[in-house]
Amino acid sequence: MRVIFRSIFYIFFLEVSVQGLCPEPFESVQNKCYYFELEVSRTWDNCRARCQSLGGDLAILNTCEEFSLLVKHIHISQLEIPDAFSFFVGGTDRGDEGVWYWVDGSPVKMGIPLWGQTDNVAEPSGGTEQNCATLNKANRYYLHDGECDKNGYAICQIDPLPDL
């Protein structure tokens, strides 16, 4: 019994160590664990449900550094998404138009350098029709408010596993 436990522990430890303390299917980007769902496009709610089914939630980008590292990772790893789709992240202003919060309840920082522009108008600019945050492919993955019921791809986030 002890040998089996030890073997399982080492297999788990090695699998996690290779991923930088991120559980499968998440990957390490600096000190954060992200999963880029590229196979299936979904609505914002379905993207969030997918992330939660993996033990995480849609990604939260609290700082310019987190934002720039994530966008750089998308480009370097060639995680480009097809057509004009965008990535959904965990920001929304549902329930209180114009007041943006992340899925953990913390406020979304507004303005430059995180939010993009559409036709020289600063985002978010979609009013009551666009209430879910996207990393907009057409605008170099800057934050935009998108329609929650349109399909996009999820960027999920989970806390790194504790050091063993």
Residue 74: both structure tokens together = 């998308």
How far is residue 144's CA from residue 164's CA, in Å, rounded to a whole number? 39
DSSP strand E in the chain: where? 27-29, 32-36, 57-58, 87-92, 101-102, 117-118, 121-122, 132-136, 142-146, 153-158
CA 143 to chain centre: 11
Tell me what pLDDT residue 5 has.
Answer: 37
How does pLDDT run across 69-87, given as a tens digit for each residue? 999 999 999 887 777 679 9
Tell me what pLDDT residue 164 has.
Answer: 62
Asked: is 2-158 a CATH 3.40.50.880 domain? The reply is no
How far is residue 35's CA from residue 117's CA, in Å, rounded to a whole number? 26
Residue 103: both structure tokens together = 């899925």
Q: Which residue has the tokens 């966008």?
A: 71
Helix (H) or strand (E) segment spanning residue 71? helix 64-76
In the chain, domain spans: 2-158
How far is residue 41's CA from residue 54's CA, in Å, rounded to a whole number? 16
How far is residue 83's CA from residue 92's CA, in Å, rounded to a whole number? 23
As a whole number of Å, the end-to-end CA separation of the chain is 21
Give the pLDDT mean for 22-45: 95
Mean pLDDT of the chain: 86
Say yes or no to pLDDT of 106 above 90. yes
